[in-house]
């Protein structure tokens, strides 16, 4: 059976007690068994015999000297006996001091090490059982203070990770449901116009061309929604491959705007688009422009104006709409995954557009900034020189 730290310390204390008691008992018993020194007594008896041998007519000439010498020997023997008493007292004093020291040491170790460790051990056991709501108070006065804080911080991070995981699962469900619903709308339109063509409702060339134009537009909408669904299915956008190579921006911007303009005439290019060479992925940059322009079409008013500013240090591409802009409370979160502002007014969307735009721009050494103007929202894509 595995012993706890407390049991191990108690065993050590008991072993120390036994050792100190054994050493003290050894000294006491050894002192009792030590033979009493009789050298002085033998000398006293020898002096008595000398006194008797020197007696003449019952008198001894050296009697007084012998008596003085005997008293001196007896005094020395008594002094040796008195020396044993403080020696034994010091042994007992040392033993008592060791016992008191061990008791104080045990109390100190229990308060500073054992009790905090037992709390940590209990806390770890509860965490292992999945009980994450238990708090572990941070105590600066013990050796486990910093470790206690780290342990409790780990618990909070686990709770936060679980909450984020739960939120991500709910967001996944919401996005998939939203995209599925959004796909149904253009599919329904495609079917309706296809049935019209099948029923020969396109009696004139002009109507037939309009039917075909709507069909192509709705197909483009379905393509965009399926692309969003594909990007959403990626657990992390680092799986989105970016093949950077030298490219010129002005031609890409003009071509993308022309392709998206079609017959709508809702995009206006101000001035001349400045030339700029960067290392980028043409396909991904087209995706960035499409996301920004489609957001402007969905949530704002026409016209959408496009222009560039070029300086020695930065190249700016402005895409500005005529809408209401972004609410101040939404501004810090507009680039977060799945986030949609409070003024979307029921417009369909997944909350992925600006998140993807920011990621792609960062991967190509660019940045994106949103600025609210008095007459709309200005989306600025820029690259430093």
Residue 303: band (very low, low, confident or very high) from pLDDT cuts 50, 70, 90: confident
Rank 99-113, 257-271, 360-374 by mean pLDDT and report only the highest. Answer: 360-374
Kindly indicate the confidence band of residue 371, based on its pLDDT and cuts at 50, 70 and 90: very high
**What's the CATH fold of domain 145-233?**
Helix Hairpins (1.10.287)
Domain positions in the chain are: 5-128, 145-233, 244-384
| Distance between CA atoms of residues 187 and 207, nearest Å | 20
Token duo for residue 200? 């020969």
Query: What is the percent of the chain with per-residue pLDDT over 70, rounded to a whole number?
Result: 66
Contacts for 383 with CB less than 8 Å, ≥ 6 apart: 249, 276, 278, 314, 315, 364, 365, 366, 367
Rg value, the chain, Cα: 49
- 164 has pLDDT over 90: no
Mean pLDDT of 128-156: 67
Contact 88, 28 (CB under 8 A): yes
Q: What are the pLDDT digits (tens) for 276-298?
A: 999 999 988 988 998 898 888 88
State the alpha helices, DSSP H only, in 234-311: 249-261, 282-299
DSSP character for 340?
A: -
pLDDT band (50, 70, 90) for residue 1: very low
Task: Count CA within 13 A, CB hemisphere, residue 346.
Answer: 0
According to CATH, the topology of domain 244-384 is Heat Shock Protein 90 (3.30.565)
**How far apart are the C-alpha atoms of 210 and 216, rounded to whole Å?**
10
Tens digits of residue pLDDT in 66-78: 666 666 666 665 5
Q: Is the pLDDT of residue 380 over 60?
A: yes
**How confident is the model at residue 70, as a pLDDT?**
60
The more confident residue out of 340 and 334 is 334
Mean pLDDT of the chain: 75
Is 247 within 8 Å of 276 (Cβ atoms)?
A: no
Half-sphere exposure of 11 (CA within 13 A, CB side): 6
Res 169: pLDDT:
76
CA distance 127 to 125: 5
Reported as a single tens digit per residue, the pLDDT across 352-368 is 778 888 988 998 999 99
Place of tokens 């299915």: 233
Q: Please, are residues 47 and 66 in contact by the beta-carbon 8 Å criterion? A: yes
Whether 162 shows a pLDDT value over 60: the answer reads yes
């Amino acid at each position: 059976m595995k012993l706890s730290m407390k049991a191990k310390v108690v065993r050590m204390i008991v072993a120390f007690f036994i050792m100190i008691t054994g050493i003290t008992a050894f000294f006491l018993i050894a002192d009792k068994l030590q033979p009493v020194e009789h050298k002085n007594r033998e000398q006293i008896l020898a002096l008595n015999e000398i006194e008797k041998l020197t007696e003449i007519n019952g008198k001894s000439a050296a009697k007084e000297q012998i008596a003085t010498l005997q008293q001196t020997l007896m005094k020395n023997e008594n002094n040796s006996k008195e020396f044993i008493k403080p020696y034994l007292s010091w042994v007992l004093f040392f033993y008592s001091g060791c016992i008191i020291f061990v008791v104080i040491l045990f109390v100190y170790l229990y308060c500073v090490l054992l009790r905090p460790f037992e709390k940590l051990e209990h806390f770890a056991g509860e965490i292992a059982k999945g009980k994450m709501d238990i708090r572990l108070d941070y105590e600066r006065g013990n050796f486990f203070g910093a470790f206690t804080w780290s342990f409790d911080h780990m618990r909070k991070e686990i709770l936060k990770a679980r909450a984020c995981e739960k939120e991500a699962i709910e967001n996944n469900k919401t996005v998939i449901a939203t995209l599925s619903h959004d796909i149904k709308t253009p599919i329904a339109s495609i079917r309706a116009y296809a049935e019209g063509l099948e029923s020969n409702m396109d009696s004139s060339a002009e109507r037939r061309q309009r039917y075909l134009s709507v069909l192509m537009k709705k197909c483009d909408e379905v393509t965009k929604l399926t692309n969003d669904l594909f990007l959403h299915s990626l657990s992390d956008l680092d799986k989105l491959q970016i093949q950077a190579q030298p490219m010129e921006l002005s031609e890409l911007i003009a071509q993308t705007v022309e392709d998206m303009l079609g017959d709508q005439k809702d995009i206006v290019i101000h001035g001349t688009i400045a030339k700029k060479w960067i290392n980028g992925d043409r396909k991904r940059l087209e995706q960035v422009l499409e996301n920004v322009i489609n957001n402007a079409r969905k949530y704002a008013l026409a016209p959408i104006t496009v222009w560039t500013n070029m300086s020695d240090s930065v190249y700016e591409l402005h895409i500005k709409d005529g809408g209401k802009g972004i609410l101040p409370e939404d501004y810090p979160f507009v680039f977060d995954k799945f986030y949609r502002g409070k003024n979307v007014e029921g417009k369909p969307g997944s909350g992925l557009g600006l998140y993807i735009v920011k990621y792609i721009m960062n991967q190509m050494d660019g940045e994106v900034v949103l600025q609210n103007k008095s007459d709309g929202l200005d989306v600025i894509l820029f690259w430093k020189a």
